[in-house]
Amino acid sequence: MGQDIVFAAEWDDRLAELRAKPEALAELRAEASTRVLPLWRGRPLMAGEDSVTAGWLPTDHPVLADAGPDWIFLGRHAGSARFAADVSSWVPAGIDEAAMSGFFDPTEYRHPDLPDDHRYAEMRGLMGRLDGVDASMASTARGILNWHASHRFCSACGQPSMAEHGGWQRVCPACRAVHFPRTDPVVIMAIERDGQLLLGRSPGWPEGMYSTLAGFIEPGESMEAAVRREVFEESAIRVGRVSYVASQPWPFPNSLMIGCVGQAETDAITLDHELEDARWFSRAELAQVVAGEHPTVRRPRKGAIAQELISRWLAGDIGFGRKD
């Protein structure tokens, strides 16, 4: 389970016990074998064309001169300590600020001190080609850096806070409040009825893009209740039975996608403001979509949990009814 879900792989050891030991982290940063993954505006460094890997650099690489002192300690993998560093202070030539604010910006930015096949790239465009562990470590680094960027001030007293514990905490020097990284739980669900699956699209999505419905879990709400509420709010469809399938960390910006399958009790769709369209897909039509042969609906993005839910449902691996 989850082998094809990007960002879900585990690396050798997070070494969480060393986060509170600054001397140990300093020693690791000084090791010649240690490697650092730079991220620029949320884009990790990627290397290679046909075969893509994360762009791990030695700690003395000139690119890291743009990084601040607060590197994120990721642990150890394949015999070397791993860190991530934010190098967003670098300003590339010809940057397109307007394009970067869209849903997905495919622009890749190359640093003059790196080989030609190295570039900072949006993970959503390459995630299906990355090694599982590289993808997971890059995803973790992006999520932690997202949190630091949006939580620079203490929520208790409003004063600037500081990164501590290898980047896994923020501490307020004024009131000593300790803050921990935030992860927002989201349910994403394959809703079935009579051999059909419900898919929808949000306004502003690329043309032809449909996906399983999803939404944030509210405080005091169970996973199952969130599935039923979100589906009803977005489509007016009532859902009965709900089962957990798999999960995926999703650093866009800081979510944990909790994949479920639900059984619809009604089939009439009434859209709310969150969806531009929603419709039922038969198995035959959905097979066309997954194969990239549908005339109007795009193939789901490889590696995303939505694609995994759709594929498992098509294969009959999840769901409450028999395959038609």
Torsion of CA 23, 29, 31, 36, to 10 degrees: 160
Tell me, what's the pLDDT at 126?
86
Residue 100 has pLDDT above 70, yes or no: no
Flag whether 175 is in a domain.
no
- 120 shares a domain with 21: yes
- 211 shares a domain with 142: no
- 212 shares a domain with 145: no
Domain-terminating residue out of 150, 166, 201:
150
- 307 shares a domain with 192: yes
Residue 306 has pLDDT above 90, yes or no: yes
Tell me, what's the pLDDT at 1?
39
Tell me, what's the pLDDT at 53?
94
- 137 shares a domain with 82: yes
Flag whether 230 is in a domain.
yes
Residue 85 belongs to domain spanning: 16-150
What order of strands is seen across the sheet that includes strand 169-171?
162-164, 169-171, 178-179
**Are the C-beta atoms of residues 68 and 36 closer than 8 Å to each other?**
no
- 290 shares a domain with 189: yes
- 300 shares a domain with 220: yes
Flag whether 217 is in a domain.
yes
- 113 shares a domain with 38: yes
Mean pLDDT of 91-97: 80
Residues whose CB is less than 8 angstroms from the CB of residue 229 and which lie 6 or more positions away in sequence, other chains included: 215, 218, 221
Question: Mind listing the pLDDT tens digit for each residue in 120-173?
Answer: 999 888 888 888 999 999 999 999 999 999 999 999 999 999 999 999 999 999
Q: How high is the mean pLDDT of the chain?
A: 93
Question: Mind listing the pLDDT tens digit for each residue in 69-85?
Answer: 999 999 999 999 999 99
- 218 shares a domain with 309: yes
Q: How confident is the model at residue 2 (pLDDT cuts 50, 70, 90)?
A: very low
- 309 shares a domain with 188: yes
Flag whether 158 is in a domain.
no
Tell me, what's the pLDDT at 49?
84
Domain-terminating residue out of 129, 150, 171:
150
- 194 shares a domain with 70: no
Residue 104 has pLDDT above 90, yes or no: no
Question: Mind listing the pLDDT tens digit for each residue in 261-305?
Answer: 999 999 999 999 899 999 999 999 999 999 999 999 999 888 899
Mean pLDDT of 173-193: 97
Q: How confident is the model at residue 111 (pLDDT cuts 50, 70, 90)?
A: very high
State how far the alpha carbon of 47 is from the alpha carbons of 38, 66, 151, 171, in Å: 12, 19, 30, 35
Tell me, what's the pLDDT at 324?
42
The CATH number for 117's domain is 3.90.79
Question: Mind listing the pLDDT tens digit for each residue in 225-273?
Answer: 999 999 999 999 999 999 999 999 999 989 999 999 999 999 999 999 8
The CATH number for 209's domain is 3.90.79.10
Tell me, what's the pLDDT at 127?
85
Flag whether 166 is in a domain.
no
Flag whether 11 is in a domain.
no
Tell me, what's the pLDDT at 96?
73
State how far the alpha carbon of 83 is from the alpha carbons of 74, 75, 88, 112, 277, in Å: 5, 7, 16, 22, 42
Flag whether 1 is in a domain.
no
Residue 99 has pLDDT above 70, yes or no: no
Mean pLDDT of 189-196: 97
Q: What total number of domains does the chain contain?
A: 2
Tell me, what's the pLDDT at 70?
94
Flag whether 191 is in a domain.
yes
State how far the alpha carbon of 246 is from the alpha carbons of 6, 119, 200, 213, 286, in Å: 12, 32, 20, 15, 21
Tell me, what's the pLDDT at 117?
94
Question: Mind listing the pLDDT tens digit for each residue in 26-45?
Answer: 999 999 999 999 999 999 99
**Three-state DSSP string of the chain:** CCCCCCCCCCCCECCHHHCCCHHHHHHHHCCCCCEEEEEECCEEEEECCCCEEECCEECCCHHHHHCCCCCEEEEEECCEEEEEEECCCCCCCCCCHHHHCCCCCCCCECCCCCCCCEEECCHHHHHHHECHHHHHHHHHHHHHHHHHHHCCECCCCCCECEEEHHHCEEECCCCCCEECCCCEEEEEEEEEECCEEEEEECCCCCCCCCECEEEECCCCCCHHHHHHHHHHHHHCCCEEEEEEEEEEEECCCCEEEEEEEEEECCCCCCCCCCCCEEEEEEHHHHHHHHCCCCCCCCCCCCCCHHHHHHHHHHHCCCCCCCCC
- 144 shares a domain with 21: yes
